[in-house]
Copies of this chain bind each other. A is one copy, B any other.
Amino acid sequence: MTRRTYAQRCALAHALDVVGERWTLLLLRELLTGPRRYGELLANLPGMGTNLLAARLKDLAAAGLIDKDEGTYALTARGAALEPAVLALARWGAPMLAEADEDEHWSATWNVVALKYSFRPDRARRARGVLEYRVDGTRVQARGRDGEIETSLEPRGDADVVLEADGETLLAIAGGTLDPDDAEADGARRVDGERRLYRSSLRFFALG
């Protein structure tokens, strides 16, 4: 019953004592795109046992990273503060997505994370406006003001440009495999908005 801890006077060790166990960071990734119910979480974490999910949720609530409200789980401020770390890890792992693996699980909400970690503030700074991405049926809005990205799963208000692409096309653009100029021939298309903003917005996403 003794909870396993690294017992090191080190910030990284303390962080890993809280979020270093299996599934924990993936669970928090889910909540980074908005509140979720138990069933939704389970569906996006294939292979995780129901008991483990329940245990993790309880632990994270006790640690102050998440709150349970009327059956749905949401990040607290402390939990949301993990976003930079999660994105940094994901950015590091992004190159490993290059080789497609057919028997991997997949969820449209993963791409919201991809949008964030591949977003290049320096490139988007001058483009004011709301961009809306429709990826595999999921709508994501991003606005480039002040060089920061704000994504929201529940779009509020109209977007200045709406573009649509499947996840593979998006990842290929961000990964540098697909040139943005060729994206339109490869699955991305403009649904609404100015053509010029559409073209430039494809260049807002890249690694490195």
Contacts and interface: CB of A to CB of B under 8 A. Distances in A.
A94 B13 CA distance: 10
- Size class of A's contact patch? 35 or more
Contacts of A81: 92
When all copies of this chain in the complex are counted, the total is: 2
A90 B22 contact: no
Contacts of A85: 85, 88-89, 91-92
A12 B97 contact: no
Nearest to A23: B6
Interface string A82-104: 10111111111110110011011
Contacts of A107: 8, 10
10 contacts: A8-B26, A10-B110, A11-B97, A12-B25, A12-B26, A15-B93, A16-B25, A18-B93, A84-B91, A84-B92
Interface of A: 6-16, 18-20, 22, 25-26, 29, 46-47, 81-82, 84-94, 96-97, 100-101, 103-107, 110, 113-114, 117, 167
